[in-house]
Amino acid sequence: MALALALVLVPLALAAVAFALPSERWRPWLLPLGGAARLAMTAAAVSRPDVAALSGWLQLDALGKVLLLLLDVLFFVSALYAPSYLRLRASRDNRALCGCLLAFLGTSALVAQAHHLGLLWVAVEASVLATAPTVYFNRNTRSLEATWKYLLIGSVGIALALLGSFFLAYSAVHGGLGSSLLVEDLVRDAPRLSPAWLHAAFIFLFVGYGTKMGLAPMHTWKPDAYGEAPGLVGTLLAGGLTGCSFLAVLRFFQILQAAGQADFARQMMIAAGLLSMLVAGGFMVRQRDYKRLLAYSSVEHMGILVLGVGIGGGAMFGALLHLLNNGLTKGVLFLSAGNIHRAFNSKLTGDVSGALRRVPASGALFLAGFFAITGAPPFGPFISELTILRAAIRGDHAWVAAGFLVALTVVFLGMGANVLHIVQGEPRADRPATGFRDTALTVGPPLVLLGLVLLLGLYIPPPLQALLDEAASALGPRS
């Protein structure tokens, strides 16, 4: 019990310290401190089978462990980047940024462990509210607009998710059961739930939490929020917060699977997945803001995640592996993009060229991140996307496999044209250097993340393989 609560409370306590600490210089170091503490606790929790608290409302199962591992590795490595970045932005008060990121670290553990669907809803919304002030870090009109859009569209999504939770509870009452919202109770009694109300609940829940994930056409907050947030924040939004919402979708999918209604959910997920990929590819072709380009890449990969679950079978393992690969690769891209932004003082592709000459390490990382995120071997996303594609072909989803390949091709061409323009050539003469140069603290974290992405493309450690197998099994049969 103590460990389950500590995963949540220790980062929240450090968030309170960050808000109280007066030193702008020392406050950023609370981020790697909190990240290291949580990573150590997560390592202990993942090795134990009985991490639970609050009469089963908090339980760390295989699905939660996968998310928690991703969150903690991503947060810790990104937190190592934070002190050097915030030193460059010394004119900005970093109190809200540091405190809110630590608060997000705590609320995300609540999402990973929540086995009561009402508590899960609260935890997801708390994670969104914790990250909203970080989008406003630059304190200009564009970041203010992005923050409000992030909150308002997210509020619509969370309201729909709440309504879906009510429908789910009523499906139990309609079936003559109690109104428990514990995942274990709902999975056990799933065959007795009202199918009509269960379908209605999943529609609202999928649209609601899909809005938080950034699935098309509910993705409209993403380009603004990711485009205006610091690269450090973009990393945690694209790799962490979206993973929290994806886990919420998986919790409800478990219930439909147990009720024998998974085919209904799968059709919606396949359609939403392909739509998200195609919409993202279309916007990438003419995108001229490279941070917004990464936002559309996130829309694409959220589509890949739900597509994998929708296909089922071995694709569910591929989707969970892709959750890890996408999160780590987004860290490479957002952190290196932040370095390029500092070197050129512009996010527009028309202003930025020759990054390999001005910031060679960051330019090379950005280029490698592009190849990784578009599924080029030998990086991890290649393995997870290939796993999903093979499952689609074996599962007689030929048209889904074809659509998947078409979307991947469009994304590669659209994103590639922009990335190559940024890294190649000579820096424009009318865009003088800002004085920013690559350093160990600004290049080291994305380099570590790239190493992990490469590792997952070449070798999946047996303990991680076993954990992913267990998590995929919770979502249905592998074949």
280-297 residue pLDDT tens: 999 998 888 999 999 999
299, part of any domain: yes
pLDDT, the chain, mean: 93
> Which of these, 369, 388, 387, 386, lies nearest to 452 by C-alpha position?
369
Q: Which domain holds residue 116?
A: 2-473
Chain-centre distance of CA 204, in angstroms?
A: 21
Read off the pLDDT of residues 368-377 as tens digits, 9 standing for 90 and up.
Answer: 999 999 999 9
Residue 182, beta-bridge partner list: 116
294, part of any domain: yes
> Which of these, 34, 44, 35, lies nearest to 65 by C-alpha position?
44
232, part of any domain: yes
Q: Determine contact, residues 47/141, Cβ cutoff 8 Å.
A: no
479, part of any domain: no
DSSP secondary-structure letter at 424?
S
Structure tokens at 234: 């973009």
Q: How many domains does the structure of the chain reveal?
A: 1
Interval 124-140 mean pLDDT:
95
Interval 101-106 mean pLDDT:
97
Is pLDDT larger for residue 435 or for residue 212? 212
343, part of any domain: yes
400, part of any domain: yes
478, part of any domain: no
Share of the chain above pLDDT 70, in %: 99
> Can you list the alpha helix ranges (DSSP code H) found in 217-261?
221-228, 231-236, 242-259
371, part of any domain: yes
Given a cut of 80, is residue 351 above it in pLDDT?
yes
